[in-house]
Structure 1
């Protein structure tokens, strides 16, 4: 008879995601994971597979949460420009997490040159975010908020690059004015 799980799978996945976000992939041992997640090693293997499989699931979990937050920002914004601003501000709103940063960005820097599966996952995550921005730009052009002469595909790439850059900068500075200035300058290209 199969044994009943004595833990919530989503809850322990969230714990693993937090640990990977804080320590990175390479510095996180299997023992660190089982201790932080509060499960046995066998349970980790049975539920998530090996450390690498767990990491890929953690990346996906993190990305899904980011997209949910973006969707909330978009729905709560009255204009396309406001929605884009809200998305950019998400990158700098991580109070007291300067040293932690974003799991996606941290993983891109740490692993994409050496791990094809992670590189593909990061590229998928980046593409989803660019698509959200592209759709907002299209909405803005259709409403007349953003001039038609703009190439929205190139703009979505540029704004996404600013979003990624902001997610890196929050790890190195507490200067909110500097970060807000970057957002303002980024959005100024939409005029």
Structure 2
């Protein structure tokens, strides 16, 4: 009979996300993961299979959490433009704490389109983000905040691209004021 896990799986995955955000997939060693997660080698392999399975689970969890943060910001009361700005700026990370980097953007940069499972996770997350932005843009059109001819899905795709760029800029050292200014400039274009 297998022994029960002696660690909190949710905490271990949260720690793995930080390790992968700091190092990337390839450069994160098993030793880095074991140390960062506070678990033994056998526990890592027993609970997650291997580094790749752990990474995929961490990426899925990171994407779910990021989407939840954005969805909460988009659901906020007030004008659509303000809600979209809040969603663009939530959870960007910073250069002061490399473990807050975006695992999704990092995986796209590291894997490009070379890994079907990573692609599937990132594509699904992107589709949900675009749909969430598009719905709020549609609300803004209905409220007269945005031009009636604006294509909500095209705007949603642009906002996803902007958010990804803001995450890279934050990781590169851009401060909150600079990031907010970039978001507001883009939103004026809607």
Note whether the superposition's TM-score is higher than 0.5. yes
Point out the more displaced range, 170-179 or 147-156.
Answer: 170-179
**RMSD over equivalenced CA pairs, Å:** 2.0
Distance change (3 Å), C-alpha of 1:122 and 1:134: same
- Cα shift at 1:143: 2.6
Number of equivalences: 190
Q: Which residue of 1 aligns with 2:142?
A: 142
CA contact (8 A) 1:98 1:170 kept: no
Q: Which residue of 1 aligns with 2:152?
A: 152
Q: Which residue of 1 aligns with 2:9?
A: 9
CA contact (8 A) 2:94 2:171 kept: no
Instruction: Show the 5 A alignment for 1:162-181.
Output: 162-181=162-181
CA contact (8 A) 2:20 2:103 kept: yes
Instruction: Show the 5 A alignment for 1:7-156.
Output: 7-90=7-90, 92=92, 94=94, 96-97=96-97, 101-156=101-156
Q: Show structure 1 runs of 5+ residues with no match.
A: none
- Cα shift at 1:6: 1.0
Instruction: Show the 5 A alignment for 1:175-190.
Output: 175-190=175-190
Q: Show structure 2 runs of 5+ residues with no match.
A: none
Residue deviations 1:138-166 (CA, integer Å, cap 9, x gap): 12122332221111121111121111111
Secondary structure in 1 aligned to 2:145? coil
